[in-house]
Amino acid sequence: MAREIERKYLVKNLSFKKLARGVLFRQGYLSTNSEATVRVRIIGDRAYLTIKGANKGLGRLEYEYELPLEDANEIMDNLCLKPIIEKYRYRVEHEGHVWEVDEFLGENEGLVVAEIELEDEEEEFTKPDFIGEEVTGDHRYSNSNLVARPFKYWKQFE
């Protein structure tokens, strides 16, 4: 059984771009209900099917399997909810941890968030100076929610 423990933050400046090169990610969701999300993700010429359970504290179950790229493209084009999430991901190392910074494109342009994956919920870490407000547990910032309520429309929902 795989368990993911992560914390999520808004990014307050773009200084992380000096520290890493962005890689384009495309991902589509087959299911976004509160008990489990199922997504297809394409990174370059590799593709994955990921199943994530509901959050339990800071952690949740997660399973990931590689898919043939052709199948992933077909699933994304024909079966996934729209819009497809597109983003550049930057992997930034900082004091023994890796921060994954996502700069969203398309319907979610303008949103930049960073996540840190931890070994346990009590693990201590230091934040780089580009890290802002913590949004762990705020479901608006989950990728699956960004399909149903893209960032560019948030002002309409407030």
pLDDT by residue (tens digit) across 8-25?
999 999 999 999 999 999
The span from the CA of 83 to the CA of 66, in Å, is 22
Percentage of the chain with pLDDT > 70? 96
The span from the CA of 10 to the CA of 24, in Å, is 19
pLDDT digits (tens, 9 = 90+) for 71-112: 999 999 999 999 999 999 999 999 999 999 999 999 999 999
Q: Are 82 and 106 in contact (CB under 8 A)?
A: no
∠ CA 148-16-108, rounded to 5°: 15
Banded pLDDT at 158 (limits 50, 70, 90) = low
29 is catalytic: yes
Q: Mean per-residue pLDDT for 124-134? A: 97
Q: Mean per-residue pLDDT for 118-132? A: 94
Res 114: pLDDT: 98
Q: What is the pTM of this model?
A: 0.90
DSSP state, 15?
G
CATH 2.40.320.10 fits 3-157, yes or no: yes
Res 66: pLDDT: 98
Q: Which of 9, 29, 90, 141 is catalytic?
A: 29
DSSP secondary structure letters along 97-140: EEEEEEEE-GGGTT-EEEEEE-SSTT------TTEEEE-TT-GG
Q: Are 8 and 115 in contact (CB under 8 A)?
A: yes
Q: Are 85 and 26 in contact (CB under 8 A)?
A: yes
> What does the domain layout of the chain look like in residue ranges?
3-157
Banded pLDDT at 55 (limits 50, 70, 90) = confident
The span from the CA of 31 to the CA of 132, in Å, is 30
Banded pLDDT at 157 (limits 50, 70, 90) = low
The span from the CA of 122 to the CA of 32, in Å, is 28
Place of tokens 């370059």: 44
Q: Mean per-residue pLDDT for 56-82? A: 92
Res 156: pLDDT: 67
Residue 122 tokens read as 């009590």
Residue 1 pLDDT greater than 70, yes or no = no
